[in-house]
């Protein structure tokens, strides 16, 4: 099966990274290492590890 791409991906200079909103993880955590993210009635925990990785858990 061949995947098809939306037409905007074929435009010169348009990449997925340019179209997605960007958020600084340290700003989301107010300089700490954890933040709660709410989606509908679900709450997720975003954590920045000592190694600088992100972990998102429910």
CA 26 – CA 48 distance, rounded (Å): 8
- Which residues of the chain have a pLDDT value below 50? none
pLDDT at residue 3, as a whole number: 60
* pTM (predicted TM-score): 0.66
In angstroms, the CA 58 to CA 45 distance is 6
Q: What pLDDT sits at residue 1?
A: 54
């Amino acid at each position: 099966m061949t995947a098809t791409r939306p037409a905007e991906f074929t435009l010169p200079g348009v990449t997925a990274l340019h179209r997605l909103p960007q958020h600084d993880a340290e700003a989301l955590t107010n300089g700490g290492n954890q933040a709660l993210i709410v989606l509908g009635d679900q709450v997720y925990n975003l954590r920045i590890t000592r190694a600088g990785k992100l972990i998102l858990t429910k």
